[in-house]
Structures are given as structure tokens and as C-alpha cells.
A and B are shown apart, each in its own frame.
Chain A
Amino acid sequence: EAEVAQSPRYKITEKSQAVAFWCDPISGHATLYWYRQILGQGPELLVQFQDESVVDDSQLPKDRFSAERLKGVDSTLKIQPAELGDSAMYLCASSTLSGGSPFGQFFGPGTRLTVL
């Protein structure tokens, strides 16, 4: 069964350091999402890509966060510099417009970030 891949699964860093997370969506899925989930809360969208284009980054803290999906396949989310409040689970999801495919967003296992 096709899955969304993410790495690393866990990341511990000190504040002011740079961190990067990687996501590989399900093959053929043109839409890719990065969500942030703070402990005890539901996920919130940070950025959404359609192929290589950003379609929604309204909740992305652009002074320190950046995201790219250069070839419209895998994606990287970067934080520089990391702050204590960035400690959270970062989830990647993908979906497709294809009518014959399962409807819905499919999530990867997430990256648990701890900022010390």
C-alpha cells in the first residue's frame, strides 16, 4: 500500500539552530500539505502545494519557516532559527484530484521536533 514518507521521525535541536524536514508523498499525488500539531491540539495547515506551486501559506511564519517542492514531488520544510515554541509534530499529507483514486488526505508518520 502506498504511503507518505517523512524523515527524520524525531529531531532534537537547540534554539537558534536550523532544522529541515523531508516529505515524499504518495506517487501521483499532486497536492502536498504540511501541518503542525502542537501537543494536545488538532493539526493546523502551514503550507499547501499544488505541484510545485504554493497555493496557501497564510499560516506559515515566513520570518523563520520556508517550504519548497522544486520538482513537484518531494518537499522540504525548514525552520531557521528554531524557537522553543516550535516544538511540535510536523505532519505531511498528500491528496490527488484523480477521480478514480481514494478521496481524502493521507498522512505520513510525522516528525516530532523538540527544541531545547
Chain B
Amino acid sequence: AQSVTQLGSHVSVSEGALVLLRCNYSSSVPPYLFWYVQYPNQGLQLLLKYTSAATLVKGINGFEAEFKKSETSFHLTKPSAHMSDAAEYFCAVTLSGNTGKLIFGQGTTLQVKP
């Protein structure tokens, strides 16, 4: 069965510092992987996705993630944090391409300090 583990429920960084949010997946076949961001009392916005093309995926707002099969990881990074990046971030996996249900991690709350 597929699953996602997000390491660290809370991450705090200073403005301008590197952001690193960790995601490890479990899947018996090559997965499709996603990162979503959620602001308070709002829905989820798609940041980026891995669909078996390039292993380094660039998304919106300066975020990127690298698919590492050997480590079963899909960590999210951003070189320089901005105050507006403070939100909750979810990693998700599906095996079924564009029509399969998403299995989400528990989420990581990113705090950005001035």
C-alpha cells in the first residue's frame, strides 16, 4: 500500500533562509508525487508535481523538489524563505495518474520568522 511520511510537523526558518520540508513515500510501483500548500481556512493549492519526467521539478513561488528513487524521497526546497511562505504544506502520492485518489502526509507547518 502506498503511504507518505512528512518528517517534522513544524519547521521554523528565518526570512531569507533555506526552506527544506521532508517527504518520504512508500510505493511498490513508480508513483506520482505532489506538494500542496494550504493557507488558513483555505483549500489546497498545487505547488508542483512529479510525473516520471525530470527528477528535479520546479513549481510556483520559487519552490522545487527532487525525486530520489533510491531514497524514496521527494523533499521540497526553496532557497530563500519569504514571510508569505508561512503556511501548511502537504506531500501526496498517487499511483493512478490523474484520476487516482491522493494519499496525503500529515502536513508540515512552516513558520517564517522576521
Asked if B101 and A42 make an inter-chain contact with CB atoms under 8 angstroms apart, the answer reads no
Residues of A within 8 A of B106 (CB): 40-42
Interface size, chain A (Cβ < 8 Å): 28
For B99, give its contact among A44, A91, A97, A106 (CB under 8 Å).
A97
Asked if A106 and B107 make an inter-chain contact with CB atoms under 8 angstroms apart, the answer reads no
List the B residue with the shortest CB-CB distance to A106.
B46
Does B25 interact with chain A (Cβ within 8 Å)? no
CB-based A-B contact count at 8 angstroms = 60
Residues of B within 8 A of A44 (CB): 104
Does A109 interact with chain B (Cβ within 8 Å)? yes
Does B63 interact with chain A (Cβ within 8 Å)? no
Asked if A42 and B98 make an inter-chain contact with CB atoms under 8 angstroms apart, the answer reads no
In the bound complex, what is the Cα–Cα distance between A4 and B43 (angstroms)?
10
Chain B interfacial positions (CB closer than 8 Å to A): 4, 34, 36, 41-46, 49, 51, 90, 92, 97-99, 101-102, 104-107
